A and B are shown apart, each in its own frame.
Chain A
């Protein structure tokens, strides 16, 4: 009797999708990729809840409370989550899944999402799906493979779907007009000595964040030195653009690693991408070829970047870039 009853409930539940989005924040502001993740979660159908965990959850929770269409915000504020380590967050999220029976767990494919979600998936014994660019149905997703040179459509057979989504493939959800209730989650059992966060060294910049900027100006080996990147900073300031770089420029030490655009760096898809002194290797194209308009400035007319550029300028960047900056 009892088993028959629970089986009926089981099939009924199956029809309802319910998604938990893992919010990303730095204790002060909500990270914009969370808004993209909410949009992806809404495409799955069903209820969407968001989890805010960290030493200080107030600012992110307040921002999310104004989102439209969210069913709930779960808040877990504790020093156990200092540094947002995967080792401390995983037990928390496993408990939330157990309590609320989520069918989908979603986070942005940022450094945090990439570090955390596979750990959760392994604990659930399910196969995570990384860097999803489109959702066809609650179990069928599209993702890019081979540095964006092929698109794979797959159906996930596991009961719980654990997804990281590519931020640039989903519009950011608006954070206004709604009123979402929040609920506190118990944090017992989350403190861990496996990994201890020591410190961070963040690149300081007044410019827009690379991954979500509307305009990106990127430099490559052609810049020849870190000092010459000033030419790009000046141009970027005129365009209110973020500055990016190719791997060659990063490896040569012209700019820090976190500016790298490409398969192994950031994936960007701005309205305008200006590639300066970048040849356009496969690995770089993987990070920017979904930009709406691509401009290439390169003195080599054979550079592969011209095959994807909407507008190309075959010119010496040391002349063309200052001239362009001057004329804007």
Chain B
């Protein structure tokens, strides 16, 4: 049976309308609702389903970030994950923490924990990078299956259906492997109150990138974060004829 590692990131809740800081150094995060990155919820759900199907033996959730990252680990534990590892990174280090750093951390933990399958979300909805799975696979020299919408267990491999630009494709990935979860992989469950209570007793191990021997020195310098240009408010037209007129005017028809 496989040991599964899932990566979970604490991000600003997807429904929050973000605000850029007036000094253009980033977006306002203080006092803003955060939750688990939606794609990571799907990754956790898939890991739990693998355990329910007796494919996975143990699931470990890893989160890199400030102390509050433990909240998303607790959520993962409440969904059915067995134990958590919190890799503490805070302050300015967290501002410049990138997928390259996280993937090195995940790769190291995967080796320490003898994981066979790593599942992460396809992208975090804050930095929108879509890199961590691919980079973790590269660090470990494992196969990768990005944008997975279906996972089936074979002998020494997984058959994964991926969402690609023109439709779907199916690949066979040799185990051990790294998977990134797409929206359609599954419908994540809600953590029930008894499971939330139980999750409080599950262990969360704390570590740091330094303990893991991972250098997190910045690879980028953020020069500014700004509001995108806003669109001019448009006009509400009275009927279809007016719309046809505007389309003609604009040279669209």
Does B170 interact with chain A (Cβ within 8 Å)? yes
Interface class of chain A by DSSP: mixed
A86 B246 Cβ-Cβ under 8 A: no
Which residues of chain A from 110 to 160 have a CB within 8 Å of any chain B CB?
110-112, 114-123, 125-131, 140, 143-158
Does A309 interact with chain B (Cβ within 8 Å)? yes
Closest A residue to B12 by beta carbon equals A146
Contacts of A119 in B (CB 8 A): 134-135, 137-138, 144
* A157-B221 contact given A313-B240, A324-B244, CB 8 Å threshold: yes
Does A78 interact with chain B (Cβ within 8 Å)? no
A203 B219 Cβ-Cβ under 8 A: no
A150 B18 Cβ-Cβ under 8 A: yes
Contacts of A153 in B (CB 8 A): 222-226
Alpha-carbon distance between A143 and B138 when the two chains are bound, in angstroms: 24
Contacts of A147 in B (CB 8 A): 125, 128
Does A55 interact with chain B (Cβ within 8 Å)? no
Which residues of chain B from 197 to 225 have a CB within 8 Å of any chain A CB?
218-225
Shortest Cβ gap from A261 to chain B (Å): 13
Does A106 interact with chain B (Cβ within 8 Å)? no
Q: Which of these, B12, B125, B167, B234, contacts A310 with CB under 8 Å?
A: B234
Does B52 interact with chain A (Cβ within 8 Å)? no
* A150-B138 contact given A155-B220, A272-B252, CB 8 Å threshold: no
Contacts of B20 in A (CB 8 A): 150
Shortest Cβ gap from B22 to chain A (Å): 13
B140-174 CB mask vs A (1 if < 8 Å, else 0) is 01111111010000000001001111111111111
Once A and B bind, how many residue pairs between them come within 8 Å at the CB atom? Answer: 247
B117-138 CB mask vs A (1 if < 8 Å, else 0) is 0000011011111111011111
Alpha-carbon distance between A321 and B144 when the two chains are bound, in angstroms: 43
Which residues of chain B from 217 to 250 have a CB within 8 Å of any chain A CB?
218-228, 231-237, 239-241, 243-244, 246-247, 250
B139 A122 Cβ-Cβ under 8 A: yes
Most buried by B among A83, A147, A193, A311: A311
Does A195 interact with chain B (Cβ within 8 Å)? yes
Closest B residue to A195 by beta carbon equals B143
A201 B129 Cβ-Cβ under 8 A: no
Does B253 interact with chain A (Cβ within 8 Å)? yes
A144 B244 Cβ-Cβ under 8 A: no
Does B53 interact with chain A (Cβ within 8 Å)? no
Of the 9-residue stretches B70-78, B96-104, B108-116, which lies at the interface with chain A?
B96-104
Shortest Cβ gap from A247 to chain B (Å): 7
* A154-B221 contact given A119-B137, A122-B100, CB 8 Å threshold: yes
Q: Which of these, B123, B241, B252, contacts A271 with CB under 8 Å?
A: B252
B17 A123 Cβ-Cβ under 8 A: no
Could you list 6 A-B pairs, sorted by A, with CB under 8 Å? Answer: A145-B27, A146-B27, A201-B168, A310-B234, A313-B240, A314-B236
The 6 closest A-B pairs by CB, nearest first: A122-B138, A118-B134, A127-B219, A122-B135, A118-B131, A194-B143
